[in-house]
Amino acid sequence: MMNTWLIASNNEGKSRDLITCLDYYGLTARQYLSRYPRLTFPTETTTSYSDNAVTKARFGAQQLGVPVIADDSGLEIPALPDLLGVTTARDLGVAVDGSDRNQAILAALCDVPSAQRRAVMRATLAAAWPDGRIVVVQAAVAGYIAQSQIGRYSGGFDRIFWLSRYGKTLAELPTTWRIPLTHRGQAALKLITKL
């Protein structure tokens, strides 16, 4: 296994979270921008998380000439079937920050009862090598959308993703508790076992 992997993403927040998850399980990673100039990745499709992650990983490995890890993830809310999923970032606007995205979701769910605010966060990770090898893993975590943004230990959707088993949002849980419960944390563990 390599000493340090590069994350093939221009999204600093997603890269930081993935780096934290991989590090939690003992794999060192850095955002590719720490070593290389910015790439313009191919436009994501709407077909699947797997296709998007593989496309980014293959492109990154070919352009940089080193092995990379790419992520595609999303939030799915059955009560908002046309708003979220594989196209979460595009639908909510990638130019707005996580707090604004969360507010848009909370506003869309304002009249939806708590029991109907089910949600799933999905993550697909793809590791790619310049020679064409690829490893793909997927993970998901189920929960509910909270009534408001809560928590300080993480950001983004973690601030509205409620785990009824714990009576808290993911962002209310310290890192050592949170990572094994997240979609990206579970995918990171699966990926490390296959590298």
Name the β-bridge partners of 141. Answer: 121
Of the listed 72, 91, 100, 111, which one is catalytic? Answer: 72
Spatial CA neighbour of 8 closest among 75, 47, 53, 74: 53
CB count in 10 Å sphere of residue 81: 9
Report the distance separating Cα 145 and Cα 49, nearest Å. 21
Report the distance separating Cα 49 and Cα 87, nearest Å. 9
| Active-site annotation holds for 100 | no
Helix axes 12-24, 183-194, angle to 10 degrees: 60
As annotated, the active-site residues are 72
